[in-house]
Amino acid sequence: MASSSSHHIRNIFVFDGSSPGKEKEFLESANHLGQVLAERKIHLVYGGGSLGLIGGVSIVAFLGGSQVLGVIPKALAKGDIIGKTIGEELQVSTMSDRMNAMFNHADAFIALPGGLGTLKEIFHISYWAQLHIHHKPIGLLNVNGFYDKLLSFLDHVVEQEFLTSSA
């Protein structure tokens, strides 16, 4: 979904993996995205932590001068599951509260490669757009064709008339 000229992106919600993934380009792309956010003075909203691709984006953006907000459920904040949150940390009670808080702090969304959590967030935000809950831009950073098969599957869902092509 393209943004209108009157829509200025100040805060972007980035979802991506807490693993660096198999290919070096994944982490390179995460680091580059963090750099671009900092250069453009765009603030990062993310799910907290500092491991994997999440760490790449958040650390580089933070060191480059972007404001960084990690939204994390209290249960995850107590453990060492995702690493230390970079920047400001907002603790919430549940994963649903986390999604709502990240959504409310973001003007746009972008997904880097990731696992089930990343896919859940992509579908959650996309479903809300389909329901017209928001009209914020959503993008996939399709590093090395990571999302090609997902996009093919979504084309199949459209062909089977479970999803409109406009969605």
Class of domain 11-159: alpha beta
The neighbouring-strand residues paired with 109 are: 13, 138
Q: Which two tokens stand for residue 42?
A: 């765009």
Dist CA 79 CA 40 (whole Å): 33
| Confidence (pLDDT) at 79 | 63
Please write the tens of the pLDDT for every residue from 67-107: 999 999 888 877 666 778 889 999 999 999 999 999 999 99
Q: Which residue has the higher pLDDT, 115 or 76?
A: 115
pLDDT surpasses 90 at 49: no
Average of pLDDT values for 150-159? 96
The answer to whether the CB of 153 falls within 8 A of the CB of 123 is no
| Confidence (pLDDT) at 78 | 74
| Confidence (pLDDT) at 151 | 96
pLDDT surpasses 70 at 5: no
